[in-house]
């Protein structure tokens, strides 16, 4: 189980994401610097205990219409070979020292655990508590496919990124969130709540096994 340390990071995750988000093809640019607030999220455990895996939800209030983004992140104690394009930045952790923070859609450890989550072999964990499952994350377990796996990030139905996954799972990842319901099929899916600016809560699907 991952241990959550109550300490500081410099720069903070939100500071790193403020610089990184506008470089993404699916970012809805308001023409201003992002104004990010944490809206929700959860974690998954790395069975090897080496990589932190977080699914962070942030809301950008810089434009007239606030947008909430789903950002899979991984935290490593050393650089990931061959993944420089996926590096969001580095940060000094008050307990663990320097950490390399990556776009989780490009990290094979995160991809493997996404496949495990969608097929019932991993449990969502609380974002800010150690050894604590998160019951607010609702997982409808799907079945393994017989094809090579991949992870596809979509916006408005158009694929943006993909990553090889284990177990024959083809997963669709939503990075600009909305509350549209997923089809009621046998495919696996993951829905999560997030906080709105008026204090209410929305819920939507962030991951689903694709066709």
User: What is the pTM for the complete model shown?
Assistant: 0.85
4 inside domain: no
More confident residue, 166 or 208: 208
User: For residue range 52-96, what is the model confidence (pLDDT) as tens digits?
Assistant: 999 999 999 998 888 999 999 999 999 999 999 999 999 997 767
How far apart CA 69 and CA 90 sit, in angstroms, is 21
Report the alpha-carbon distance of residue 59 to residue 43 in Å, rounded: 18
Q: What percent of the chain has pLDDT over 70?
A: 77
Q: Which two tokens stand for residue 75?
A: 């935290």
The number of domains in the chain is: 1
The answer to the question of residue 2 being in a domain is no
Within a domain: 1? no
Residue 159 has pLDDT above 70, yes or no: no
Q: What is the pLDDT of residue 2?
A: 62
Q: What are phi and psi of 119, to 5 degrees?
A: -115, 15
* DSSP E strands, 77-131: 87-93, 97-103
User: Would residue 195 count as lying in a domain?
Assistant: yes
Closest CA to 117 of 52, 66, 169: 169
Q: Is 1 exposed, middle or buried (0-12, 13-18, 19+ CB in 10 A)?
A: exposed
Please say whether the beta carbons of 209 and 170 come within 8 A: yes
Confidence of residue 160 (pLDDT cuts 50, 70, 90): very low
pLDDT tier, 131 (very low <50, low <70, confident <90, very high otherwise): confident
Report pLDDT digits (tens) over 137-151: 999 886 654 444 445
Mean pLDDT over residues 97-104, rounded?
Answer: 91
Tell whether 3 is covered by a domain: no
Of 6-15, 20-29, 65-74, 119-128, which range is least confident? 6-15
Domain residues for 201? 9-209
Measured at the CA of 186, the angle between CA 185 and CA 190, to 5 degrees, comes to 85
- 96, two tokens: 């663990």
């Amino acid at each position: 189980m991952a241990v959550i340390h109550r300490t500081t990071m410099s720069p903070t995750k939100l500071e790193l994401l403020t610089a990184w988000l506008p470089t993404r093809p699916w970012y809805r640019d308001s023409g201003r610097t992002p104004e990010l607030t944490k809206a929700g999220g959860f974690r998954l455990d790395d069975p090897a205990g080496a990589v932190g895996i977080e699914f962070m939800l942030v809301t950008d209030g810089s434009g007239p219409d606030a947008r909430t983004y789903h950002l899979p992140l991984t935290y490593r104690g050393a650089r990931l070979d061959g993944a420089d394009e996926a590096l969001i930045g580095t940060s000094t952790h008050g307990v663990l020292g320097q950490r390399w923070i990556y776009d989780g859609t490009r990290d094979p450890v995160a991809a493997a655990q996404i496949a495990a989550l969608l097929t019932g072999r991993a449990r969502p964990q609380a974002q800010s508590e150690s050894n604590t499952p998160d019951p607010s994350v609702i997982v409808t377990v799907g079945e393994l496919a017989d094809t090579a796996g991949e992870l596809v990030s979509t916006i408005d139905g158009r694929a943006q990124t993909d990553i090889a996954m284990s177990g024959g799972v083809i997963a669709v990842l939503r990075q600009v969130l909305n509350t549209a319901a997923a089809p009621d099929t046998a495919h696996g899916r993951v829905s999560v709540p997030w906080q709105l600016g008026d204090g209410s809560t929305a819920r939507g699907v962030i991951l689903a096994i694709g066709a």
